[in-house]
Structure 1
């Protein structure tokens, strides 16, 4: 009897989930229910999926509104009707247009006009699919209305938005948040009615007792609506099924691509290669995933045709088919990658292919996908209300002062000390926490479907201009819609840009084959960078934790890097197996500590589970599960089980099989807990190997073209570290770092021979148009000869010119910055006037005689800190205090177990938790010689000696050593004071 029900996907309006709505209907004896969220279909598919289990017939539609003004309700008679409604809504929402007051002629939809809207429109003619909706409250008016005569068009339209008074209060708060106003200013027209709730079926019949024809009309309407989607095990893939014109031709094409590419990947393929290829092709064919591979191949082929680099990873990187046809660059035979990790007969979903492109190229690849394939959309994600954020919003709605809002948001209060309004904020903050706030775009997911996108959902059009569905990946997979992951990352852009810079700066270099990774893997100089922790700037291997791990492991080959990429993940670390792996790797005598059965299963990792594949191996060979069952176990550990019951059944089988084999419970649960502790975090081996390929390409460039590579790193936003630190690294590689120069700099950094000229883009408060003008003028008419020449040629304000002078961009004039500042003021007028165009005729500049005006290097350093964010001279030069004699990082190994004093310039710092859950701080510094060292503030000192921003810190503590890697456990630390800015000194 309910044809107008809202969930909290009626964003910042509804107050209950689709599951809660269904349970509410069940409690009230309702056996058919229509979900009609306001201009949204996010909940529809899950509503349909869950309704059957609760014995309720699901009907879906849309509550079409302009703001809060209800125009009409659309109900889908069937799947095609749902598509019609979605297409209609999408047309208006994507273009940000108002919904028309009269609905179009739908083929498979019912349209219900609200009673009051019909009166306003004075509508008197209704087509066969149009009805008039009457709420409980409106029955009194109906008795005296001309609409009473439309006996065959009247239906019950009792809106459901809330359950209780508490829901109504939450609804009003959401409306105030949406309108960004005080609750006291919220107009009644912005709210639902307090009666917009569900009544039991008996009450519905009682209220409409005098209008049996309305009850019958409503029943008939609901009975005529039937929508069906397949879910769970019954579902089939809804992705594009055919790449060519038939499944047979798809398979022949995939087979041909494999035959054509086989000898490019394997000069002399052996029987193992042929067997693996045959098995994969047969399984891909039997499971119907042929088009999935061909579509990924198509995307990668386009990227290659444009000269874009890519990295193929995810579970699909375990596939020899993907390797041969070029989707990935990971050889599953070399790495002994499990076929069943990426595909098996138990798996209903296709394998994951995460394809990374440069962040600069990704949008073009996405545009190609939309142009190449018809039924395409981006996947959505829901941004939900977080507690702290919603408390802030509610505090504003209630009109609390900022100090009170800060206190509540940050938890700095006792419940007894706050007033009633603050308690209301906290109470409703807890209620609203987790509600969807707005729809956003999934970071990577693209849908390529067999049917039109609107068959499943309405779409929005975010700023990037690609249609986006209104459901997330969980719902998508439930209905058989599987995403293609197209990601953007900066590591590939660094490689591509480095090659361009090499071409420009080193014209004598004819060409570089950056794809020759096999040669890079065997290069001793490159491997030495891994072993010594010299990978700053290289994708995925530059973080302090990763560099420290590789030094502990003494990583010096590709397989070692692949292992390190997975060992560093939280699961392996958290289970304690990271430490055990390092011991067994560095000191072979420790391998005897491994359980013989596990050592036999995983000899390459010394009996330690490192990769997701190891879960499969152990479950299969230790517990005699099939590889399909083992994959259910692996997915379940990641929280990705389709059915919790199915996962629990496999868990019980694991335990019972082990007991049947005679294993002691102690061993069984030790192994089980290892699996449990890390399976959800560990990488697939192929995934790690994909990262390692890209890392080796970066390391090659860092090793042989360090200045070009570091310039590319800087021009792509760096990575783990700050700009200042990457400049420090470039200096270590022999670069001369130059401040921005109006004749040599560009918007990004520019390498000329061995000098890196900082880009104008670093300058704070310099307008983009100023930079564009000065660069365009220089490109057209050559270098600037003087300040006068610059002023004549570039339209600029005194404020903008002052910034360029303060950063010493006119140093080629050999005049001091102070003199240039005064000259600029005289020439441009201190009032800050700015002409809109450069002067047509050059005027004679008057020469002003100024006294000798000097500035100090300290003033220059403070200018750099203000305008760039850091001083080029480094913080050690600016120390005001006298430094005691300390130890250098390179000598820490000589002081293991002893207390030392060491001075360091902060590189990066972060909080972490000990195994007992206590707070600690991990910091990385460089000493006066430019060498790195790590410092740990444990929980007993972390609050006493805080790290407050960049600068020099005196660290006193004990040198600790783990596997030849030294760090300092801080006893006390102090930030050293800097020389004051001379301009701020008061005489």
Structure 2
């Protein structure tokens, strides 16, 4: 009877959760139920799963609309019909075409709204749906003449009157309009709740044939596909056995290269992994990942293989990863084991410049009907909900801001509209808002993707599934993560710059050499890591100093304990203290010493959760892995998690562990599990960090130019230019004759790229570079103006930023000549002049020049000065000390002059704001500051600039900082 039900995956329309819809059907003793979301099958397989568990026959389909106009409802008769529905949806969604008035689908019922077509015009699988409020219009239509063409169409959109109001709010948000301006065509009807079967039978009592036909249609539909069964591409070659043979051959060849031919432990582990991979049908998965890696190698793309896949020695031998699992004592079972309850995956990081090409290769290599990017959905959350509701209710911005900043424990507002906003905001918390894209997940299926999901095509042009990672897992599809990051682009571009500037080739994969390099060790020990992937933030540089980090294994640990969960739980501080005093560690339990000795009794890695759960609490590996996934936010079954928690404590009691010890072990596991890395993740990141460190150590100029050109890093661009100058680079303004779009380097001279010049249009840059490439360098101002038709404003920007300094003329003289020539022109010519005009010669007076004129031009046009920024600080330096002096001043009150780099606000346990600051002093050294709540409130940060900082010097494990008691902004010199 219920063949038109929607959930909140009818985005900004429905108000019913998927499980809630099924629960409502159970309460009404419904035997069969259809899910027909608007232009979507996003939650279809959750619906099927919930229905089957509740004894309800699921029916799948979709409600097809063009905008607000309902065209028809599609119901899949079987699995083939569902594929037709998904394909039909996808073809129109991906091409952003309107749906046709009548669909061309097979094995599908098409139900038209009453009045759109007559029964005599319908085909075999086409029907007319009648709503309760439309029954009076049936008189004179003679439904008895075509009894098999009429069905009951009872839309189910919301639960009750309150949710009907919520539906209206969602429609206003979708239309970006005031609630009061919604029209009747924008919203659902007032009767689209979930009536009982008796109510429907009574309403349609005069038309028993229609009721019977509705039941017949529902009974004719079925969903036979099994969930949780492998639906990935089965074979890379032609059979499982051929895949096994090929993978074994390639792994053994890689083993000889990585370990030599006589390494028995490595050989035994490779054989063990190959056996498990074969038993669990993962041969094809490894070979597909290897295929992607080899394509990247062929294209000279830099990549990092990480994730739990880095626990595999087979992956290491295949050069999918550069993490040696034997050296790091990584166990394969973290990636793949017979007890694992969910599919593992590889994370492959590529440069942001190369990632799309890798994705395109996968689509073309394995077929666009069998490949999709993994979808996800954005949800309504917290403050964003209040802002959305404030707009649709018509509140002014100041009132919305006030409501957003309202504390949770505050008394309910007296204003009726504000109370309504808070009420409905709470109801729509976590509702899906819109379809989005998973950061990197890809699906490669054996059968067409349309069998499982419809697809959309976001702006980048790659087909994207409507299902998220949880539903893909439920279906039985493993994801392969193809991710991007700028750190790899830094490495790739630096190597290219080194080749062009120095004529040297760098083999960046010689990571074992980098681990042993004393200069690299000294660089990391001094935390001279600005620009280096993952280890350049103030917090990370402080941690490296505290740990006296100068080796790979310590960096692996640091990459994990810097995560918020470890830091917030106090375990990071505990780790540092125990690192400095390893002989006096109070292990929670004797068994914990054997499990956590490497990390001084502190749980640092996700693997530690599994080890402790298995060896300390007696959970089997499958349960331990579920626990690890649940604590890291990758498992949705709260009931399953609760059962494992109960079993954890029951096992601990049975094993005789004291209750308080068990609770503390659980607290430590739970407190950091959501943020921690797997050890393999940390090891992969540490490898890339070492690669960046090597380049920064031996090729600092080229490396910093690469960082600048990728616009990526923890700090603003000006501070990477600071590092470049600190390393000996001579930084020059953009130049018409030597500059490029990006920043370029020749020897130790670095020319700022035109891309950094604000208000300079891309078309102007492209034009001047193309003309220079065709006809050579510009001879002077007149030559440039004759060859390039650039308006006066753009020309003035180029002159003021110093791009015409090669002429030898002063900026003001250039500006005078340029504007004079422009005024002589009646209009800017549309093409370059054929013959060069002789320039009029003027004898101009000398224009006065102020000392800081160029610096202020650069600040206005680039955002920062290319010279010494401290020349601008209006301060006489009286009483100022410098960062290099702090070790001798611990405990004393000092004054420093600092240039603000970045701040990090945090909340105290009382909910007050405090902050950590990072500054540069005049000597170019980095300063860390601490600003407690009262000080921060009295002396807040402003945007950038210079500050006189007064406070006490503190020291902790070799890290010096200033605990600020007073801070005053310093103005700029005129």
TM-score by length of 2: 0.96
Q: Could you say which residue in structure 1 is the equivalent of 2:398?
A: 403
Q: Could you say which residue in structure 2 is the equivalent of 1:136?
A: 132
**How many residues matched?**
971
Q: Could you say which residue in structure 2 is the equivalent of 1:314?
A: 307
Q: Could you say which residue in structure 2 is the equivalent of 1:568?
A: 562
Q: Tell me the distance in 1 between the aligned counterparts of 2:815 and 2:633.
A: 63
Q: Could you say which residue in structure 2 is the equivalent of 1:5?
A: 5
1:282 aligns with 2:282: no
Q: Could you say which residue in structure 1 is the equivalent of 2:820?
A: 826
Q: Tell me the distance in 2 between the aligned counterparts of 1:403 and 1:618.
A: 51
Q: Could you say which residue in structure 1 is the equivalent of 2:221?
A: 225
Q: Could you say which residue in structure 1 is the equivalent of 2:245?
A: 252
Q: Could you say which residue in structure 1 is the equivalent of 2:472?
A: 476
Q: Decide which of 435, 443, 453 is 2:439's aligned counterpart.
A: 443
Could you tell me whether the CA contact under 8 Å between 2:39 and 2:64 is conserved in 1?
yes
Q: Could you say which residue in structure 1 is the equivalent of 2:189?
A: 193
Q: Could you say which residue in structure 2 is the equivalent of 1:868?
A: 862
Q: Could you say which residue in structure 1 is the equivalent of 2:111?
A: 112
Could you tell me whether the CA contact under 8 Å between 1:237 and 1:349 is conserved in 2?
no
Q: Tell me the distance in 2 between the aligned counterparts of 1:831 and 1:116.
A: 68
Q: Tell me the distance in 2 between the aligned counterparts of 1:617 and 1:25.
A: 43
Q: Decide which of 778, 789, 810 is 2:783's aligned counterpart.
A: 789
Q: Tell me the distance in 2 between the aligned counterparts of 1:675 and 1:383.
A: 29
Q: Secondary structure at the match of 1:110?
A: strand
Deviations 1:197-219 (Å, cap 9, x if unpaired)? 22111110101111110010000
| Map 1:410-429 → 2, pairs under 5 A | 410-411=405-406, 419-429=415-425
1:932 aligns with 2:926: yes
Q: Tell me the distance in 2 between the aligned counterparts of 1:854 and 1:254.
A: 75
Cα distance change, pair 641–437 in 1 and its aligned pair in 2 (3 A): closer
Q: Could you say which residue in structure 2 is the equivalent of 1:985?
A: none
1:28 aligns with 2:28: yes
Q: Could you say which residue in structure 1 is the equivalent of 2:234?
A: 241
The Cα of 1:621 is off from its aligned counterpart by: 3.2
Deviations 1:112-147 (Å, cap 9, x if unpaired)? 1111211xxx56232221111111111111122255
Q: Decide which of 900, 907, 915 is 1:913's aligned counterpart.
A: 907
The Cα of 1:391 is off from its aligned counterpart by: 3.1
Q: Secondary structure at the match of 2:330?
A: coil
Cα distance change, pair 653–4 in 1 and its aligned pair in 2 (3 A): closer
Q: Could you say which residue in structure 2 is the equivalent of 1:541?
A: 535
Q: Could you say which residue in structure 1 is the equivalent of 2:547?
A: 553
1:381 aligns with 2:376: yes
Could you tell me whether the CA contact under 8 Å between 1:598 and 1:608 is conserved in 2?
no
The Cα of 1:301 is off from its aligned counterpart by: 0.9
Q: Secondary structure at the match of 1:227?
A: coil
Q: Decide which of 123, 128, 146 is 1:127's aligned counterpart.
A: 123
Q: Tell me the distance in 2 between the aligned counterparts of 1:338 and 1:201.
A: 56
TM-score by length of 1: 0.95
1:965 aligns with 2:948: no
Could you tell me whether the CA contact under 8 Å between 1:340 and 1:628 is conserved in 2?
no
Could you tell me whether the CA contact under 8 Å between 2:540 and 2:562 is conserved in 1?
yes
Q: Tell me the distance in 1 between the aligned counterparts of 2:880 and 2:226.
A: 70
Please provide the CA RMSD for this pair. 2.1
Cα distance change, pair 933–852 in 1 and its aligned pair in 2 (3 A): same
Structure 1: runs of 5+ lacking an equivalent: 981-987
The Cα of 1:416 is off from its aligned counterpart by: 7.3
Q: Could you say which residue in structure 2 is the equivalent of 1:495?
A: 491
Could you tell me whether the CA contact under 8 Å between 1:243 and 1:295 is conserved in 2?
yes
Q: Secondary structure at the match of 2:937?
A: coil
1:531 aligns with 2:525: yes
Q: Secondary structure at the match of 1:116?
A: coil
Structure 2: runs of 5+ lacking an equivalent: none
Could you tell me whether the CA contact under 8 Å between 2:952 and 2:962 is conserved in 1?
yes
Q: Tell me the distance in 1 between the aligned counterparts of 2:253 and 2:352.
A: 31
Deviations 1:837-875 (Å, cap 9, x if unpaired)? 322332232234432222323232222111111122343
Q: Tell me the distance in 1 between the aligned counterparts of 2:826 and 2:56.
A: 72
Could you tell me whether the CA contact under 8 Å between 1:381 and 1:471 is conserved in 2?
yes
| Map 1:657-676 → 2, pairs under 5 A | 657-676=651-670
The Cα of 1:587 is off from its aligned counterpart by: 3.0
Q: Tell me the distance in 2 between the aligned counterparts of 1:41 and 1:602.
A: 46
The Cα of 1:342 is off from its aligned counterpart by: 1.2
Q: Could you say which residue in structure 1 is the equivalent of 2:726?
A: 732
| Map 1:601-750 → 2, pairs under 5 A | 601-641=595-635, 643-750=637-744
Q: Decide which of 826, 833, 839 is 2:833's aligned counterpart.
A: 839
Q: Secondary structure at the match of 1:204?
A: helix
Q: Secondary structure at the match of 1:608?
A: coil
Could you tell me whether the CA contact under 8 Å between 1:318 and 1:338 is conserved in 2?
yes
1:353 aligns with 2:346: yes
Cα distance change, pair 628–42 in 1 and its aligned pair in 2 (3 A): closer
Could you tell me whether the CA contact under 8 Å between 1:880 and 1:978 is conserved in 2?
yes
Could you tell me whether the CA contact under 8 Å between 1:798 and 1:832 is conserved in 2?
no
Could you tell me whether the CA contact under 8 Å between 2:588 and 2:661 is conserved in 1?
no
Q: Tell me the distance in 2 between the aligned counterparts of 1:432 and 1:675.
A: 32
Q: Could you say which residue in structure 1 is the equivalent of 2:75?
A: 75
Q: Decide which of 259, 263, 269 is 1:266's aligned counterpart.
A: 259
Q: Decide which of 891, 903, 911 is 1:897's aligned counterpart.
A: 891
Could you tell me whether the CA contact under 8 Å between 1:807 and 1:864 is conserved in 2?
yes
Q: Could you say which residue in structure 2 is the equivalent of 1:209?
A: 205
Q: Decide which of 153, 156, 163 is 1:157's aligned counterpart.
A: 153
Cα distance change, pair 207–939 in 1 and its aligned pair in 2 (3 A): same
Q: Could you say which residue in structure 1 is the equivalent of 2:286?
A: 293
